[in-house]
Amino acid sequence: MPRIVGERKDALKGIAEVFRVHGFDGASLSLISEATGFGKGSLYHFFPGGKEEMAEAVLSDIDHWFEQQMFAPLRESGRPREAIGDMIANVERYFQSGQRICLVGAFALSDVRDRFASRIADYFTAWRQALSYALQRAGHAVAHADALAEDAVAGIQGALVASRAFNDRAVFARVLAAIAARLLAEPA
Amino acid sequence: MPRIVGERKDALKGIAEVFRVHGFDGASLSLISEATGFGKGSLYHFFPGGKEEMAEAVLSDIDHWFEQQMFAPLRESGRPREAIGDMIANVERYFQSGQRICLVGAFALSDVRDRFASRIADYFTAWRQALSYALQRAGHAVAHADALAEDAVAGIQGALVASRAFNDRAVFARVLAAIAARLLAEPA
DNA sequence: GTCTATATGGAGATAGAC
DNA sequence: GTCTATCTCCATATAGAC
């Protein structure tokens, strides 16, 4: 008997989770089918382009979420220092203290990087720019703000790798705290 | 006609490269066969445990290389600040300005982490300890040295992710320079 | 829109001749 | 120690009934 009628967006969260845990290559359609509750037929109905189209949709979804929850506040807040503090707290929550990795970062490190290169670069570029702009409004010179922002965005990825490597979420907390301290230090 | 007789160690570099580029799952025996010049028969003769044993051997090889080239000098040099500077230069060279990723870091981020958890943790732990010890001899208090070392080890991984994400080796150079500046700052 | 059945290819791994 | 042939399994993707 057919399940309740669904739509494309209902599958996205489950697909994202499978890509996050198993990577693009390791994300088999069986796993995706299990995680979403949709059969292969339905999945190909929603995503005729197969896994590639699923990954595009997931990356687009993540981009949208970060834009709204992380980047826009950094760009628009009247209290830039506060917005930076909120970003750190959001990072801690979103990545679950390092227990959950960054799908975009993992793709960047893997052999599918070239296939999704522009989406990956856009995500990181938007983050760096939004953070740099907040730092500038907080009183930093442009060049210094750019450097700090780039260092922080990279540092967060490093914190994720390291906390998984050490298998210790405390590592994530400590490295993130060090990044926060650099971002929130008084402008020279 | 059979090729010149080889041995296990002749295959390691090629196998490592395939794992680095394609990840554990993406590293098919065909690719490994092509990269090493050995047929599947020979590969299974050298590594009866298949891909798993190949990965163990590669990780062990990398561990050995880093121990000799990077960790031992950090632990033993009479000029710790100089040793730290050398480490940065070695990192720049080894990872080819971010064009070459860290196999251990990539494994840590992927779903094979649990399978090789202790080797991965050992590699990062040895690095962190060796660097912290050099920082202590350079005049830092133990707690500060530990924190600086952890931040730097994580930061290098982040620099690799970011430079691939931005597809810009200048990112690697800049982030690595920022890490070096923190490591070489005068002790408080 | 959902499902089952199936096509086709390539995966990891093994056997055995040389 | 090397190779080719082969086994089995599961991958992505498709076709078509409901």
pLDDT 10s digits, A21-56: 999 999 999 999 999 999 999 999 999 999 999 999
- Shortest alpha-carbon distance between residue A48 and chain B (Å): 24
Does residue A4 register a pLDDT over 80?
no
- Residue among A57, B45, B131, B110 at smallest CA distance from B53: B45
Does residue B159 register a pLDDT over 80?
yes
The overall average pLDDT reported for chain B is 96
**pLDDT at position A6:** 77
- Shortest alpha-carbon distance between residue B174 and chain A (Å): 8
**pLDDT at position A3:** 61
**pLDDT at position A5:** 78
Q: In this structure, what token pair is assigned to residue B158?
A: 């982040």
Q: In this structure, what token pair is assigned to residue A19?
A: 């890509």
**pLDDT at position A7:** 82
**What confidence tier does B5 reach under pLDDT thresholds 50, 70, 90?**
confident
Q: What is the pTM of this model?
A: 0.97
pLDDT single digits (tens) B84-102: 999 999 999 999 999 999 9
Does residue A64 register a pLDDT over 90?
yes
User: Cβ of A157 and B157 within 8 Å?
Assistant: yes
The answer to whether B154 touches B176, Cβ cutoff 8 Å, is: no
User: Cβ of B161 and A101 within 8 Å?
Assistant: no
What percent of chain A has pLDDT above 70? 98
Task: Please name the amino acid found at residue A92.
Answer: E
- Residue among A8, A116, A146, A131 at smallest CA distance from A66: A131
**pLDDT at position B188:** 82
B166, B169, B172, B182: best mutation site toward chain A, by most A Cβ within 10 Å?
B166
Place of tokens 């929603």: A46
What percent of chain B has pLDDT above 90? 96
**pLDDT at position A1:** 47
Does residue B30 register a pLDDT over 70?
yes
Does residue B2 register a pLDDT over 60?
no
Place of tokens 């296990």: B8
Bases on strand D under 7 Å from any protein CB: 1-5, 10-18
> Residue A48 CA to nucleotide D15 C1', Å?
14
Out of B23, B154, B166, name the one closest to residue A158 (CB): B154
Distance CA B155, CA B146 (A): 14
**What confidence tier does B1 reach under pLDDT thresholds 50, 70, 90?**
very low
pLDDT single digits (tens) A132-165: 999 999 999 999 999 999 999 999 999 999 999 9
> Residue B60 CA to nucleotide D2 C1', Å?
26
Cβ–Cβ contact B28 with A under 8 A: no
**pLDDT at position B71:** 98
Degrees, nearest 5: CA angle A27-A31-A36? 110
Distance CA B96, CA B154 (A): 18
Cβ–Cβ contact A29 with B under 8 A: no
Distance CA B130, CA A166 (A): 15
User: Cβ of A111 and B153 within 8 Å?
Assistant: no
Average pLDDT over residues B148-168: 99
Place of tokens 């982040």: B158
pLDDT single digits (tens) A87-136: 999 999 999 999 999 999 999 999 999 999 999 999 999 999 999 999 99
Out of B23, B117, B157, name the one closest to residue A161 (CB): B157
**pLDDT at position A2:** 52
